[in-house]
Structure 1
Amino acid sequence: MEGFKRHLIACSALLLLASAWSDQPVRSKAPQEAVEAWKDLRFGMFIHWGPVALTGHEIGWSRGSQTPIEEYDNLYKRFNPKNFDADEWVRVAKAAGMKYMVLTTKHHDGFCLWPSEYTDYDIGETPFKRDVVGELAEACRKGGIGFGTYYSVCDWWHPLYPKGGRAGSEDKPAGDMDKYIEYLQNQTAELIKNYGPLTTMWFDVPRDVKARHNEPTLEMMRKLQPNLVVNNRAYYDENVADYETPEQNLGIFNNKRPWETCMTIARQWAWKPNDPVKSLEQCLHGLIFSIGGDGNFLFNVGPNALGEIEPEQVARLKEMGEWISNYADGIHATRGGPFKPSGWGASTHKGKAIYLFIARWPANGIHTLPMTGKILKAENLSGKEATLKQTANGYELSVPAEDRDPIATVVKLTVDAPAGSIEPMDMGSVTGSLTFRKPSTASSVRWNQHDFQGPHQAFDDNPGSHWVPSGKQEEWLAVDLEKPQTVDRIKILQYAAYLKELSLQYEQDGEWKTIFSADEVTGDLEKPFSPVTAQKFRLLLKDGHTHLSEFQLYRNVP
């Protein structure tokens, strides 16, 4: 603990500086041009890594659960990733079409991937000893991509952080948040000074942190690097954050508030043996629907204990890069819209060009573009032919089946005015579901992130967005069809689900009546049933968890 003692002495100057600023509350953000430059990057690599890779369990969260705390806290003594090659990691990112990288320099377990002046619980005390953060920062600069640092606000290892034990469930006898914040300030200053300029500072889990703690921290960081872009997890106040961070879920269209979806290429953030990798379609749709919503896409890999990114993940990223290279003008340095993402696909724009990424086609093979402005030309970047016809409702676009891309057909539209001046607009349903964009309510939303995980996400035709409940024993998701309608089929799409019981209900005379129930539901569900006429329907979920992508209702029988 000698490093811990060192920091108590070394932090004095920084503490005095922070105190001097504390009487002037921080409400400033990064300069707009810095945020716009960050948005231009669009696609980045997230890396969760540390001694936990020796176990194959999740970083931070497995401490005290799958791995006993004492064993977990001593993993660093065996951590020797002799095959770590920062230049290779950058080559993998660039081959994928990524423009920046964010590394977990310190996760909730408190271990630091750089030799910090303020702790001995770091990479310098491992058999490996090399400065991972420094080598990766330098490799990113040589490779021409941005480098950012993830830094966990909570620290279940550090004696001064008030919470410890399993997932921060226990109080520490010597916990002192004010003194811990001194440690945090010193380390974040160290990261900026030693490895900056940084593309972003990516905070996480600011449990029990107040404005009086982190406002001085944010001002200190922005004095050291005025153009530093900071996410919304330093503490829960959007007034001092530059962008929001939906996790494992796609954000909705929002061109007013910057955002970035972070998502795993497999199931786990950290390395896990035989962790199934998402399909190429899932990976690219994550990117397409993020940038089409005017967000960035931060895609995570978890290197193994030797310092290698899994070959299957490398291969998938390379496939992504090959596809992206065909449509790069429609991806990097673009903005989302004007056609909002939903089940049909997504759009981006740059100058007088609009790029349509068409993931799904209606049964008649024609998409209606509901815009009144003039489209000068339509080019099918995925094949030879695209037909555009102006109608009273806008434009009808069709592409022969043989000229479509199985991932997403990309059509470039040239318009007669800057595309950014066009008011964003909704597209129609491609499924014909009666619930599409209907008013919805839910029992709860995880972390109260209604924009990114709210009930509306289950009624947008998009399998990549989800309603995520908070995980109570009983949850419900309701939809109002706005008038009585007859339905006789349900289709439910889910991700990472287990439900002991699921029931479909309808409202009649103020009471909910059950149409059917299903036990042990672990995935998608499609089921016909006897016709029911009602205006309001809901799913009742018991004892489980879900990321519910779609709740669709149909009428098959006339």
Structure 2
Amino acid sequence: MAGSTEGPDFVGDFDTPEQRVGTFNRERPWETCMTICRQWAWKPNDELKTLSQCLQILLRTVGGDGNLLLNVGPMPDGQIEARQVERLKEIGAWLKKYGDGVYGTRGGPFKPGSWGASTCKDNKIYLFIFTWPKEGPFVLPPINQKVLQAVARTGGQVQVVASEDKITVDVPAENRDPIVTVVELTVSGEAFEIPPVAVPAVSGAVSVDKPAKASNVFQKQVAHYGPQMAFDDNSETRWATDAGTQAAWLEVDLGSAVAVNRAVIEEAYAPRVRKFQIEYHDGKDWVPCFQGTTIGERGEFRFPAVTAQRFRLNILDASEGPTIWEFQLFSEK
């Protein structure tokens, strides 16, 4: 058993990414180990993960071809805290409806990301869509099999159109589940034989692929953990800092002045960040436009529109070296 180390495989070997969802991997068994609150042991009033967080963790895990260990810590009397029990029951109720897309499946063929995840079994593909485009249908890459049927499992009608260069999936806005929309596809062959493919990002962030820099990069491995990784619209790559880092900043240059009023930050190994600011450069100084404490796995932060070319995430206090999957900026009317 290994955390996530590279090296020769041995019989019974598997990876155990802790407090984060592992990346897509069909070649080596892995299990994400995650707590339902913030720590392994029980603590009074510990922050409990929402149902949305729990389900998305589960689906990103199985969609990556992994297994999920969701930890609950017993109280001193041996009982599980009532609110944790209630959360587990909510997860169970969801699985009672849609568990055929989880149990006995394999991850893929559409790799998980900020968009959602997919699993497959026999001639079925199960799509779990978290995020929809602002306009138009959801777009998937083409596959080498025909789509014979589509069902919107969470309700409403689904329209699926497959062509040589893409697959479009559309469900009326009023039928899109606020946590995860489930769509079941029937294909012409064994779904597991479809080569895994990444799904293009749908964020619409103005910061995508813009020049970036940071105050610190993990062991100077810029190619793997550089600041550009937080602006590539890919939730499987990340900017990372050296162990023991308690303060750091991550900057992006939009190329020209843009009115920004929303940011989405995805933190790996959350919750390391304890205090942060989103700042813009006014031509002379860095000025805060949002101040916060924890970020979490996916934090969304709104603020009055600020027009500037350069923005940064300034992490003022962290319990351990901060690492960020994505720092996305949006310009919305």
Question: Smaller-chain TM-score range?
Answer: 0.7 to 0.9
Contact 1:340 1:346 in 2 (8 A): yes
**Residue 308 of structure 2: aligned partner:** 531
Q: What are the Cα deviations for residues 134-162 of structure 1, in whole angstroms up to 9, with x where unaligned?
A: xxxxxxxxxxxxxxxxxxxxxxxxxxxxx
**For the residues of structure 2 that align with 1:255 and 1:440, how far apart are their CA atoms?**
32
**Residue 400 of structure 1: aligned partner:** 172
Would the alpha carbon gap of residues 453 and 282 (structure 1) be closer, same or farther in structure 2, given more than 3 Å must change? Answer: farther
Residue 253 (structure 1) aligned with residue 24 (structure 2) = yes
1:336 to 97, 107, 126: 107
Contact 2:213 2:228 in 1 (8 A): yes
**For the residues of structure 1 that align with 2:226 and 2:117, how far apart are their CA atoms?**
19
Q: What are the Cα deviations for residues 18-51 of structure 1, in whole angstroms up to 9, with x where unaligned?
A: xxxxxxxxxxxxxxxxxxxxxxxxxxxxxxxxxx
**For the residues of structure 1 that align with 2:213 and 2:308, how far apart are their CA atoms?**
23
**Residue 553 of structure 1: aligned partner:** 329
TM-score under structure 1 normalisation?
Answer: 0.49
| 1:435 positional shift | 3.6
**For the residues of structure 2 that align with 1:485 and 1:379, how far apart are their CA atoms?**
44
| 1:522 positional shift | 1.0
**For the residues of structure 2 that align with 1:465 and 1:308, how far apart are their CA atoms?**
39
Q: What are the Cα deviations for residues 344-382 of structure 1, in whole angstroms up to 9, with x where unaligned?
A: 211011122111001121122511122143211111222
| 1:451 positional shift | 8.4
The 5 Å alignment of 1:297-316 reads 297-316=68-87
Structure 2 gap ranges (5+): none
* Structure with greater proportional helix content: 1
**For the residues of structure 2 that align with 1:452 and 1:341, how far apart are their CA atoms?**
20
1:361 to 127, 132, 138: 132
**Residue 250 of structure 2: aligned partner:** 477
Would the alpha carbon gap of residues 555 and 292 (structure 1) be closer, same or farther in structure 2, given more than 3 Å must change? Answer: same
TM-score under structure 2 normalisation?
Answer: 0.78
**For the residues of structure 1 that align with 2:37 and 2:217, how far apart are their CA atoms?**
27
**For the residues of structure 2 that align with 1:358 and 1:240, how far apart are their CA atoms?**
34
The 5 Å alignment of 1:360-439 reads 360-373=131-144, 374-391=146-163, 393-436=165-208
**For the residues of structure 1 that align with 2:167 and 2:143, how far apart are their CA atoms?**
8
Q: Secondary structure at the match of 1:239?
A: coil
Would the alpha carbon gap of residues 453 and 404 (structure 1) be closer, same or farther in structure 2, given more than 3 Å must change? Answer: farther
The 5 Å alignment of 1:214-253 reads 231-233=1-3, 238-240=7-9, 242-253=13-24
Would the alpha carbon gap of residues 238 and 476 (structure 1) be closer, same or farther in structure 2, given more than 3 Å must change? Answer: farther
Residue 263 (structure 1) aligned with residue 40 (structure 2) = no
Would the alpha carbon gap of residues 272 and 330 (structure 1) be closer, same or farther in structure 2, given more than 3 Å must change? Answer: same
* Structure with greater proportional strand content: 2
Would the alpha carbon gap of residues 434 and 265 (structure 1) be closer, same or farther in structure 2, given more than 3 Å must change? Answer: same
Q: Secondary structure at the match of 1:487?
A: strand
The CA RMSD measured in Å over matched residues stands at 3.7
| 1:529 positional shift | 2.2
Structure 1 gap ranges (5+): 1-230, 507-511
The 5 Å alignment of 1:99-498 reads 231-233=1-3, 238-240=7-9, 242-373=13-144, 374-391=146-163, 393-436=165-208, 443-445=216-218, 456=229, 459-460=232-233, 469=241, 470-477=243-250, 484=255, 486-489=257-260, 491-493=263-265, 495-496=270-271, 497-498=273-274
**For the residues of structure 1 that align with 2:228 and 2:61, how far apart are their CA atoms?**
18
Letter in 2 for 1:271: W
Alignment length (residue pairs): 313
Contact 1:486 1:555 in 2 (8 A): no
Would the alpha carbon gap of residues 394 and 284 (structure 1) be closer, same or farther in structure 2, given more than 3 Å must change? Answer: same
Contact 1:250 1:452 in 2 (8 A): no
| 1:473 positional shift | 4.0
Percent identical residues: 40
Letter in 1 for 2:318: G
Would the alpha carbon gap of residues 473 and 549 (structure 1) be closer, same or farther in structure 2, given more than 3 Å must change? Answer: same
Would the alpha carbon gap of residues 515 and 257 (structure 1) be closer, same or farther in structure 2, given more than 3 Å must change? Answer: farther
| 1:499 positional shift | 2.9
**For the residues of structure 2 that align with 1:488 and 1:555, how far apart are their CA atoms?**
6
Letter in 2 for 1:400: P
